[in-house]
Amino acid sequence: MTSKEKLLDRVTKRSAVIGIIGLGYVGLPLMLRFVEQGFRVLGFDVDAERVALLNRGKSPIRHIGAAGIAAAAKRGFAATADFARAKEADVLIVCVPTPLNQHREPDLSHVRASIRALLPHLREGQAVSLESTTYPGTTEEEFLPLIESRGLKVGRDVFLMFSPEREDPGNEKYSTRTIPKVVGGTTPDCLAVGKAIYGAIIDIVVPVSSTRTAELVKLLENIHRAINIGLVNEMKIIADRMGIDIFEVVRAAATKPFGFVPYYPGPGLGGHCIPIDPFYLTWKAHQYGVHTRFIELAGEINRAMPAWVLQRIGDALNQAGKPLKGSRVLILGIAYKKNIDDIRESPSIELIRLLREKGSIVAYSDPYVPSVQAPHQYPALSMRSTACDAKTLAAQDCVVVATDHDAFDYELIRARASLIVDTRGRYDPSPDRIVRA
């Protein structure tokens, strides 16, 4: 049997060992799904505390329950920081972060560190799949030459593919199993192996012609959202100047059964993907002499939203006869979206920074984020969540609905807060106490 036939046979029989590199928001749901389908999974992470936590059957992520982690451990899942164990795996799936550097250029340091850690332990008969969002060409440019430097021929000895992650934390409608999975292979045999691996755990696998195509698919998905959110955020500013409720406008437009997809405005973009992914394409496009004006304009609009919210808070306080400096402001929600504990690129953090610069006394309340050590760009931002109770609300000059977690008691907030600035359309505006932003 060829290497391909042996690997396909092991996948079919569920005897293949799956190695997942990066045990976070992408890697852990993928691990759970492979375990559910009878595979033994070995997880790799450079964070020793996370490895220890997972091996105790605990979860580092709120929406991924500890019960699922504990059940997976009983069925053979183990986490490790020892990349030498990569040789035990038949399939290696890389799910590590791809942030931007300080110049807003792609930072592939985690991806490169992963493949270099795996490289000495690669062997014939393995499959390697990259899931981290990146620019077109990454799989071929970063992975293929290193693998073949070991004397392993991609497409014959090792099977290389790209399959973009499509996780949506907190979305109860879709799961890892039900979200269709795009996969592109370096060669036709790589694609066949990728289809078999993901087809074992995902209901629908969508094959594409190359890894570069699959890489661009992911960027298009997130750039589509970024541009439409930028559009509705700009519409929000226009509607505000005209005295029109943008949320009412969007809800009414959404009744059209064709040709319109509703996007709702907010205080800015958050999460690991949408604020970051467009810059991966703009950076790569510049190498081809293409200036991505439309994409970059949407990025500028979205990045300006926290400053616009700050202005609305200032205006609202001014109407109440209070300056920003010295006013007590409570930010409701520091996670980047509702009902999760993820603060990556959260606009709430930028809003807190801006308010502090103006001299406001800022606190936050988030039932899912008890404390926060902000990212490197805000080293002084270290805070703990405060209770969102009647006493706390009454003590504020302004309460800002930044992330509309369902766990908040919105009737209590309405009753006790003297001034509410609502960035999520949770309340109907009123001239004296509730302001849209």
Task: Give residue for tokens 């979200």.
Answer: 179
Is the sign of the CA dihedral 158, 163, 168, 171 positive or negative? negative
Selecting among 95, 190, 273, 398, the annotated active-site residue is 273
Looking at residue 183, its amino acid is: V
Task: Report how far residue 166's alpha carbon sits from residue 168's, in angstroms, rounded to the nearest whole number.
Answer: 6
Residue 56: both structure tokens together: 């105790």
Task: Report how far residue 203's alpha carbon sits from residue 216's, in angstroms, rounded to the nearest whole number.
Answer: 22
Task: Report how far residue 280's alpha carbon sits from residue 56's, in angstroms, rounded to the nearest whole number.
Answer: 37
Looking at residue 342, its amino acid is: D
Instruction: For residue 408, report the phi and psi dihedrals to the nearest 5 degrees.
Output: -70, 145
Query: Any catalytic annotation for residue 273?
Result: yes
Helix (H) or strand (E) holding 401: strand 398-401
Task: Report how far residue 280's alpha carbon sits from residue 80's, in angstroms, rounded to the nearest whole number.
Answer: 30
Instruction: For residue 20, report the phi and psi dihedrals to the nearest 5 degrees.
Output: -115, 120
Task: Report how far residue 369's alpha carbon sits from residue 9's, in angstroms, rounded to the nearest whole number.
Answer: 44
**Nearest-CA neighbor of 7 among 118, 106, 99, 124?**
124
Residue 377: CB atoms within 10 A of its CB come to: 10
Q: Where are the alpha helices (DSSP H) in 98-187?
A: 109-118, 138, 144-149
The catalytic residue positions are: 273
